[in-house]
Structure 1
Amino acid sequence: MKKFSSVFLTFFLIATMIFSGCQSKENDTGEQVEKDQKTTEKVELTVSAAASLTDAMAEIEKAFLKEYSSIDLTFSFGGSGNLAKQIEQGAPVDVFLSADSKWTDTLAKKDLVLKDTITSFTGNKLVLISPKDSEPNITSFQELKSNDWKQLSIGEPESVPAGQYSKDTLESINLWNHVKDKIIFAKDVRQVLTYVESGNADLGIVYSSDALMSDKVQVLAEAEEKWHDPIVYPAAVVKASKHQDEAKQFVEFLSSEKAQSILKKYGFKK
């Protein structure tokens, strides 16, 4: 009987050791799988960007992901002012790309972006456009004084940088009061482009990069830089971002030779 009990006890101990070993191995494997999953998880960055950057950012995104495969980018395009207000209201944004310094400075004063990340990464020019198949008798901004046109579209100056640059330009050449009653305001510069492409506006003022991307409009004239503030595009990391390191990598990439080459291709200028 004692012999039987001894044998049973030995068997029980061996079985317990084997089971414990398997359990430990299973736990180790589970922990390793979980660790590997965390390692391979992609960081998702949300980028709020001026509407004029739409086409260029599509290509810049591809170039960026080739170098930073562990990061995914999601873009939200619109008027810089509206995007800035969304950030003020707590929208989950990691990077802000504005079409002027005004809105980046506004967020900086409210301590909503990391000030040491603010970088002007590109610039632009302002142009007067019309539908490609039209024959306007206008070859300069000053000739807007004529009455040979009915409607001019520009961005809403209060929220769209291109709209503010346009208003400044028209005021500089003393034409704002002459044309303001014939203006169609748009929510962003891309809507201005759409109005002119569709013929809903005889004329429009957009960035040269927007005009370059459309085969439905023609450029009639280019605004002189002295007529408006310098057109610059600042980038900044949003302070509330949960992925500040990755956001900084994207902002830095915008000034890289590769990104600058793409921006130049789309009509932007440093």
Structure 2
Amino acid sequence: MDSKKILMIAVVALIAIVAVSSCSAGFLDFLGGDNATDDSLNGKEVNLAAAASLKNVYDDELIPMFEAKYPGVKVTPTYASSGDLQTQIENGLETDVFMSASNKQMNALADEGLIDNDTNLQFLENKVVLIVPKDSDLNITSFDDLKDVKGTIAIGDPESVPAGQYAKEALTNLGIWDAVESKFSLGTDVTAVLNQVAQGSAECGIVYATDAKSNDDVKVVCEAPENSLNTSVIYPVAMIKDAKDADAAKAFLEFLQTQEAKDKFVEYGFTIHE
């Protein structure tokens, strides 16, 4: 075989190898698109400020999932009542993403120019429920029965805790707030309310359905009547306007809207707001 033929065969073989390699790479990219990472995010950090009722799903599931998808990015969460987080953000808390248990706090920060409104998303829904300790023999079946409770009723502080604001709204609309106000033990966030009931230091309490689901030491008596709340319990999420690592924060918001992340929220008792 002469040298020209050998050269031609070598060139054809090389072209074939390059073509196959390119197709394979493209195919692998297609298959692994959802798991592809952005190296430009390496070393970045997402500072997350989230309502206390979100702690379990974030710590147990979503933060590990995001950090596995973006190995170079670290998520640092701060959990508290939405009202406390609002105040902390106003006072300079280093935050990239804020997820509130109510629109009230998100709207206040937006009005102050602290939220990137283009990213503001009405994301999750929750339910307000009445709970008692799991071994309680308290004879209550409705919110109206709270008038007959002799002991303590735990609720979030309506001044700063969305769950407490919803509790006050429901009890006021049901016409029983004045009759039960003297029995309240006010929690600094919804987790504190849940713990009071779980530990038996309160006869009953008002929390979110997701909180009740997370603790085997309480049981749900009933949901707040539909007409007792003026609006649905909405959890908005948004990026802070002056986020330190904006690209990482955007990646985190995009991740929250993936089906795998939404499935975890649902697993923990939330509803995706449509």
TM-score clears 0.5: yes
TM-score by length of 1: 0.83
Q: Percent identity?
A: 41
For 1:92-241, list aligned pairs within 5 A.
Answer: 92-146=94-148, 148-228=149-229, 229-241=231-243
Contact 2:157 2:164 in 1 (8 A): yes
Q: Distance in 2 between matches of 1:262 and 1:41?
A: 25
C-alpha distance in 2, partners of 1:197/1:119? 33
TM-score (normalised: structure 2): 0.82
Q: 3-state SS of the aligned residue for 1:96? A: strand
CA distance in 2, matches of 1:250, 1:232: 20
**1:77 matched to which residue of 2?**
79
Deviation (angstroms), 1:225: 3.1
Q: Which residue identity does 1:87 align to in structure 2? A: I
| AA of the residue aligned to 1:105 | N
C-alpha separation between the residues in 2 aligned to 1:153 and 1:84?
Answer: 23
Residue identity opposite 1:122 in structure 2? L
Q: Distance in 2 between matches of 1:201 and 1:259?
A: 34
Give the deviation of 1:100 after TM superposition. Answer: 0.6
Aligned mates of 2:247, 2:236 — CA distance in 1 = 18
Q: Is the 8 A contact 2:132 2:204 kept in 1?
A: yes
Q: 2:223 & 2:202 partners in 1: Cα distance?
A: 18
Stretches of structure 1 lacking an aligned partner (at least 5 in a row): 1-37
Unaligned regions of 5+ residues in structure 2, if any?
Answer: 1-38
Displacement, 1:101? Answer: 0.6
Q: What are the superposed Cα offsets for residues 169-189 of structure 1, whole Å, 9 maximum, x if unpaired?
A: 001110100000000000000
**Cα drift, residue 70 of structure 1:** 2.2
Structure 2 partner of 1:35: none
Calculate the aligned-residue CA RMSD, in Å. Answer: 1.4
The one-character-per-residue Cα deviations of 1:242-264 (angstroms, maximum 9, x if unpaired) are: 11121112122212111110011
**How many residues end up aligned between the 2 structures?**
232
- Is the CA contact 2:45–2:248 (under 8 Å) kept in the aligned structure 1? no
